[in-house]
Amino acid sequence: MKALIEHALTNMSLEPELISEILDYGRLKKVRAGQLIIGPDSTSKEMPLVISGILKVMKQDQDGNEIFLYYLEGGDTCAMSIACCIEGKLNRFKVLAEEDSELWMIPMAYVDGWVQKYNSFRKYVFDAYQSRFDELLETIESISFMNMDQRLLKFLLDKKQVTGSYVIQMTHQQIARELNSSRVVVSRLLKQLERQQKIQQYRNRIEIL
């Protein structure tokens, strides 16, 4: 198992010395699809590093509405958790396992030191911030400037991209919830997409063509 993680870390071009520290002080956490990793009142003092699988990061408001922010894939880390823990602030985000995933949990206590000690780690953290920021911009853009039909198509394509599968196992209701829309609207738009030969619909299942 450790060998597998070591391999993953090497691919991230981190110093060998740092890699052995990460391996020594971290711990493996396996989560199943749908499992909550970081909740609204999470006090976890660990920084998650995604080895395999996909995590979904969301922001939720007072009424329990959720806004999708971005996905985390293998090699990614939750930039927010670093900021929150270093500043000792509470995490107001929600992280959910989109698929069965393996995480390498690193105690926050080490992170601060590593940022100073290792160039590669500092770069890794900054890069993580940069790409999260870019992805955030993209979702903000889609929410504010795109029509529902465009957003829906983007949602489907993103899903395909991130899962590597043309098959999406979701009900219209679930999709509507994710897009903060209603089931009826999603059904109608999906029907359009089907007529345009862009997708094929089945019960609880959509295939992208």
Q: Which residues in this chain contact DNA in the complex, by CB under 7 A?
A: 147-149, 171-173, 180-185, 187-191, 194, 201-204
Give the shortest CB-63-to-DNA separation in angstroms.
13
Give the shortest CB-87-to-DNA separation in angstroms.
35
Residue 200 and residue 209: Cα distance in Å, rounded? Answer: 7
Give the shortest CB-152-to-DNA separation in angstroms.
8
Using the minimum distance from each CB to DNA, give the nearer residue, 123 or 198: 198
β-pairing verdict for 27-31 and 101-107: antiparallel
Backbone angles phi, psi at 117, to 5 degrees: -80, -40
Give the shortest CB-194-to-DNA separation in angstroms.
7
**Helices of type H across 60-204:** 79-87, 108-117, 119-145, 148-163, 172-178, 183-195
Residue 117 and residue 111: Cα distance in Å, rounded? Answer: 10
Using the minimum distance from each CB to DNA, give the nearer residue, 29 or 59: 59
* Residue 73 to residues 54, 76, 97, 110, 131, Cα–Cα distance (Å): 5, 6, 10, 23, 12
Using the minimum distance from each CB to DNA, give the nearer residue, 34 or 40: 34
The CB density around residue 97, as the number of other CB atoms within 10 Å, is: 21
First-to-last alpha carbon distance for the chain, in angstroms, is 37
Residue 18 and residue 208: Cα distance in Å, rounded? Answer: 42
Give the shortest CB-92-to-DNA separation in angstroms.
24
CA atoms within 13 A on the CB side of 44: 22
Give the shortest CB-165-to-DNA separation in angstroms.
17
Using the minimum distance from each CB to DNA, give the nearer residue, 14 or 168: 168
* Residue 63 to residues 59, 60, 87, 176, Cα–Cα distance (Å): 12, 8, 26, 17
